[in-house]
Every structure is written in structure tokens, then in C-alpha cells.
Chains A and B, each alone.
Chain A
Amino acid sequence: MAEVRLVDVEKRYGGFLALPKQSLTIEEGEFLVLLGPSGCGKTTTMRMIAGLEEITSGDILIGGERVNDKPPKDRDIAMVFQNYGLYPHMTVQQNIAYPLKLRGVDRKAREARVRETAEKVELGALLHRRPSELSGGQRQRVALARAIVRTPKIFLMDEPLSNLDAKLRVSMRAELKHLHHELGVTTVYVTHDQMEAMTLASRVAVMREGRIVQLDTPKKIYSEPADLFVAGFIGSPSMNLVEGHITGGRFEAPGVSIPVAAAERGDVVLGIRPEDLELTTAEAPPIRGKLYALELTGEATLVTLREGATSICARGPAEFEAEIDAACALAPRPGARIHLFDKTTGQRIAA
């Protein structure tokens, strides 16, 4: 257990600036999720913490101690690699046991611990296989087991569940959540799965082109995105973003006229989540348009309207049915959150 601090850390690959100078503090016992599009620097951040990648400038502190020049083996970290990094010549059993072996845990204790861990990731029956004889998801679970077989100061997990089927993913997620609760080890976790991010994280860092654009609790990230990028990136289906202007206390755009509490101005983007909209039959509805698509997701139907360049999606009841191109109307639900962003800077406009 330890706090991790990145102070003014910058990373360049030759001339390419992968991570611009920035600082980040990961609290002791925190579960930090890194979220961001492919190539934004999540893996690079982890590799720097692990000591696999030299930092171009700045300092990394683990538990208050500067570790810039410490080799990975002395940082007391366990990591799940995005591409597993299994030992091809060892069996599953030997793979998982390796970190314990290096720490001089005796054979008996090692075997017991490996068996216990393998059960957790549902690999108990495959202990004597080689990695080449496993499926992708099974290999990933070996990588996971190898990381959680011991209790390090820090866990680094780079998309550890990405290759599992939906059911296994949910049960592994619960397993990880429980493990974190039990051990309280500081964890940095990369995922593209928003559900994972929301359920596991104590805080989420949303990254874009190497920069952390928002660092906050999952709830805050969801309910108060700092800018257009975060607003569009978090949530599935993603937030509706409509360009328009504010006049006389109303946001106006083709087919849209919603009362907002903001000063008069042009070049505004209004954001509203699909689950904050409902179908309406009111006389003068805030949002009008032609029905463009209907998608049944199981417990709800996603209703997409079009009016000119505006496209808006709402989450309606599962039993909703209508003809494509039929006229439709939407209204914000009572208590719905309406977000406003500056169109040019992308920043959130305080309500």
C-alpha cells in the first residue's frame, strides 16, 4: 500500500510528445481508472510507474520515495500487461508461481497459494497447460492470476478483462472489487469498458492525447463533465450534443427550444443524456423531429430523432413503437441535467 505521485512528468518518444508535462497523485488505497481513446497514453503512464519506461523529465514517487532510478523489481509492483507477457516455456502453474518463487516462498506455500488464486480466476483445471495451449481469455486470466497471487504495494492493470466473455467479465469484476476491498492496495486500472470504470473506480482520470482532462469520482465525471470531450466520451449511448445559441433564457437550435438558466450568447453546445429525455405528447414540445431509428436494447428502446442537422437520442420505454419518419416529440424528464459548453473552447459553462 502506497501513495503514487507523478510530479511534472513528461514523456517523449524521440520527437513525439506522448505525455505532456503534468502531475498526478494517486492516493493510498485508491482505485484509479484511466479512461481514454486508443493511443492516448494510458499504457505509457503505467509503464512509467512500473519503471519499464524512462521518463523524459519529472519525478515519480512511490510511498513518498523518489523511484526514478529504481529498477522495476525493487518497486514492489504487480502488473497485468495489455498483451499478457506470459512465460511461454512455463506451465500455468509455474507462470502464476513465478513472483512467489522469486521472493523465496517455499514450495508448499507456493503451491497452495497458486491453487487458491487459480480458483479465483477459474483456471483450476488448466494448471498444467502451457500458454500456447490456452485461449485468449484463458491467457488473460493467467496474467491476472500472476498479478494477484501476491500482495504488492501497487497493482497496475492494463485492460485485464478485455478478452473475457460478458459473464466472466462481470464475475471477475466483482472478484477484483472484493480483492481491493480486502487488501486495500493502491490500484491503477485501464479499461475501455465504462461499466467497469464506473463500478470499480474511486476516481476516474479521463485522458486525451496524453493529457488528463478530468480527474474526479465516477459520479462527478458522469454528472458534470468538464468539457465536450469528456461529455461525449463518458456514457453509453453517449450524451446528445446540440449546437445552438441562447436567447431570452432559452436554448435555440433547429427543432429544439429548451429553457436554460444562462446568460444570452451564441456558439453554445447543449448536452443532455438520452436517459434524461422522455417521449412527450405536449402541445409545444421542447424537442421536435422525425423518427430516424429505433433500437431495442432489452430493458429500453433507444429513440433517435432528426431535424435538419440535429440528431437526438432518447431512452424510451421498451414497448414504444412507431413508424420511421413519423413526427415525434421529446422533453427533458423532471430533474434532468442540462449541460452547456462553450463551442470554441469546449469548456463547461457554469450554470
Chain B
Amino acid sequence: MKRILLWWAERALLVLVSVIVLFPIAWMFLTAFKSPRDAYSLSLNFTPTFNNFVTVFSHPWNLGDMVLNSVVVASVTVLIAVPCASLAAYSFSRFRVRGRKFLFFLVLSTQFIPAVVIVLPFFLMFRQLGLLDTRIALIIVNLAIVTPFVIWMIKGYIDAIPTDSEEAAMIDGASRLRVIWDIVLPVAAPGILTSAIFCFILTWNEFLFSLILTRRDAVTLPVGLVNFRTERGDLWELMSAAGVMITVPIFIMALLIQKHFTRGMTAGAVK
């Protein structure tokens, strides 16, 4: 009896939390398809329109440029961070070097520094280099933020792979790099892919640095949202449409992660 009650309580709580979390997102999706007239109405009875999406992609909003900026910054960050982090993670996981633990702690400790503390030094640095309002600046900053985290994540996956197969490969005649390429990467692939998507999401959503370091040319989607707060008021329907543009790729990726998250590849390596 008590167990059945608990079961129901658990379900009820899950539903409640889901509603609280999902409601604003659902509302945003609805608003994105409303005409300005309906935007403030609470009624669900409205004629859906694609006009908002057409508007945000045309002058003066030019959301297309921001989408491009975001895609370029996030993709390049992932393409650089994940390979580097994979090698670093492998080294941290497998090589018994003096001071390895301390070094790893140093790498991780960068994550404990609040972004607002380092945003000003970055700003001054990039001004000096003439890199303000460029994608390169954003990529560099995002690499600095994301790489330690990705190293930590991938190290977790590599730690979980038994070393037996690697040793077997070395005896079979493989060099260390060959072992990584032939054995470690394929076996850790689901984990690395998950980390890559995570890295993409972090970069995609990054707000503070983009806000401070860009003005016109390199503005990314999250910062672009701010444009919809005009002196004529907040344009909710446009902001929502832009919000949908930001959210949908993340949704798709989260679904992808979920599929890979639960799949283990190491089964059968040892007895």
C-alpha cells in the first residue's frame, strides 16, 4: 500500500516538475507562431503564422547572420576542443607522470573562476590584438571555457575502458597513437560524441562573453535576442521566433545524446 502511494507520489512529482520546466518553453513555441496582435493574449485560440520567422530573417533583424556566427563559432570550437581534449584526457587517464593529479586539478580549477572575473582581461587583450567583434575572439574564449570541461568528461569515459585491449594491441604491434586511433577512439566514441554535443551546446548558449566581445559583425544568437527589446517595447513574437531558432538544434542534439548515453561499448572486452 505504502509502496503504491510512493509510486504515485513519485509520478506526480515528475509531472509537476516537467510542467514547471516545460511550460515557458511551450509558451515560447506558441508565441513564435502568433501575430503581434495575439502575442499578449493568453488564449490558445489564434491563427498560426510563419510571418515572424520571415521577419526575423529580413532587414533590420538579419537573424541569418547571427545563426551563421553561432554555427561557425560552436562548430569550430567543437572541432578544435574535442580532438585536443581527447588526447589530453587519454594522457591524464593512462600515463603515470609525476604531478599528474596536480596538473589535472589546475586544468579543472579554471572552471571555478566566475566568467565575469575574466571577461574584462579578455576584452582588453582582444582590443590590443584588434580582434574585438570577430568570430576568432569568440572561438578562443569558448575554447578556454569548454576544453577543461570536455577533458574531464572524456577522461571519465576513457577511465572506464579496461586497459587490457590496449595492451593487447601494443603487443600485436601497434604504436601508442595507433592504439588510440584503432582501439580507444572507437570504443570511447559514444562518450566522445556525447562530450562533443555537450561542448556544442555550451558554446551555442554562451552569452556573457559574446555580449561583451561583439558589437555588430560577430553577434551570436543569444546576444541577438537582446535586439528585440526596442524603444518601441519588447517584440515578444519575434523574440520567441528567434528563441525557437536557438532551441531547436539543442533539442535535436539532446535527443542524440540520450540515444548514445545509454549505450555501452566495452562489454565483452574481458572475461
Contact = CB atoms under 8 A, between A and B. Distances in A.
A146 B265 CA distance: 21
Contacts of A77: 171
Interface of B: 164-165, 167-176, 178, 182-183, 186-187, 265-271
Contact of A52 (B171, B187, B267, B271): B171
Binding site secondary structure of chain B = helix
Given A51-B170, A86-B269, A102-B174, 9 more contacts: A50-B171, A73-B171, A73-B175, A79-B171, A86-B268, A87-B182, A87-B183, A88-B265, A88-B267
Contact of A139 (B171, B187, B266, B271): B271
B176 to A, nearest CB: 8
A79 B170 CA distance: 10
B264 to A, nearest CB: 9
A72 B171 CA distance: 5
Given A81-B164, A130-B268, A139-B268, A102 B170 contact: no
Given A89-B187, A102-B178, A131 B268 contact: yes
B171 A84 contact: no
Contacts of B167: 52, 72, 81, 85
Interface in A58-112: 71-73, 75, 77-79, 81, 83-89, 98-99, 102-103
A53 B187 CA distance: 24
Contacts, number: 85
A134 interface: yes
* From B168, B171, B178, B187, residue with most partner A Cβ within 10 Å: B171
A99 B170 contact: no
B173 A83 contact: no
Given A81-B164, A85-B164, A85-B168, A131 B269 contact: yes
Nearest to A143: B168
Contacts of A130: 268
Contact of A88 (B173, B178, B182, B268): B268
B173 A102 contact: yes
A256 B182 CA distance: 66
Interface in A103-125: 103
Contacts of B165: 85-88
B170 A89 contact: no
Nearest to A136: B271
Q: How large is the interface on A (under 10, 10 to 19, 20 to 34, 35 or more residues)?
A: 20 to 34
Contacts of A133: 268
A85 B269 contact: yes
A78 B173 CA distance: 9
B171 A87 contact: no
A224 B267 CA distance: 47
Contacts of B172: 73, 78, 98-99, 102, 146
A72 B173 CA distance: 7
Which 4 A-B residue pairs are closest in the complex by CB-CB distance? A132-B268, A85-B168, A85-B164, A131-B268
B98 to A, nearest CB: 15
A204 B271 CA distance: 27
Given A85-B269, A86-B269, A139-B268, A98 B169 contact: yes
Nearest to A75: B171
A134 B268 contact: yes
A173 B234 CA distance: 82
Given A81-B164, A83-B164, A102-B178, A88 B171 contact: no
A79 B268 contact: no
9 contacts: A77-B171, A78-B171, A79-B171, A86-B165, A86-B168, A86-B269, A87-B165, A98-B169, A133-B268
Contacts of B173: 73, 99, 102-103
Nearest to A88: B269
B270 A83 contact: yes
Contacts of A103: 173
A130 B178 CA distance: 21
B88 to A, nearest CB: 22
Given A52-B167, A98-B169, A84 B271 contact: yes
Nearest to B185: A89
B183 A84 contact: no
